[in-house]
């Protein structure tokens, strides 16, 4: 079981690093939101794997809270990004002007 834990933690560490790369580079806010969602899912998975290795239920409420907070975060960012002022807004205006 220790080997499984080490493999899983390695995989999830690479996952988190790649998500951080997308959060830093992502051209728009919505790219960063998607990457943050994956990061939150990977964090929940890491906490679950840790609980499975150690055979304890202490951290289960944290997973519930994390999924709730991740949902609220991405929904509110999506609402906010609809009025974003940036290069993406210019593209929308161009499309409207053409049609």
Partner 1 sequence: MIDVVAGIFLVTGAVLALAAAIALVRFPDVFSRMHAATKPQTLGLICILVGLALRLQSVAAVTTIVLIIAFQLLTAPVASHMVGRASHRIGLLDTDRLSRNDLDD
Using CB under 8 A as the binding rule, whether residue 6 contacts partner 1 is answered as no
99 near partner 1 (CB under 8 A)? yes
What would you report as the CA-atom Rg of the chain, rounded to the nearest whole angstrom? 18
Does 1 bind partner 1 (CB under 8 A)? Our answer is: yes
- Listing DSSP states for 10-65 in one string gives HHHHHHHHHHHHHHHH-SSHHHHHHHHHHHHHHHHHHHHHHHHHHT--TTHHHHHH
Q: Is 98 in the site for partner 1 (CB under 8 A)?
A: no
Report the alpha-carbon distance of residue 22 to residue 34 in Å, rounded: 9
User: Is position 69 an interface residue for partner 1 (rule: CB under 8 A)?
Assistant: no
Distance CA 24, CA 31 (A): 10
Does 79 bind partner 1 (CB under 8 A)? Our answer is: yes
| Residues of the shown chain interacting with partner 1 in the complex, contacts defined by CB under 8 A | 1, 4, 7-8, 11-12, 14-19, 21-22, 28, 30-31, 33-35, 37-38, 41-42, 44-45, 48-49, 51-52, 55, 57, 60-61, 63-64, 67-68, 70-71, 74-75, 77-79, 81-82, 84, 88-89, 91-95, 99
């Amino acid at each position: 079981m220790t080997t499984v834990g080490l493999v899983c933690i390695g995989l999830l560490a690479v996952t988190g690093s790649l998500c951080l790369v997308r959060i830093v580079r992502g051209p728009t806010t919505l790219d960063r939101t998607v990457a943050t969602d994956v990061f939150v899912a990977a964090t929940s998975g890491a906490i679950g794997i840790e609980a499975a290795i150690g055979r304890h239920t202490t951290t289960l409420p944290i997973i519930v809270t994390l999924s709730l907070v991740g949902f609220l975060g991405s929904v509110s960012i999506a609402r906010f990004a609809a009025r974003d002022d940036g290069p993406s807004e210019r593209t929308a205006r161009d499309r409207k002007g053409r049609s």
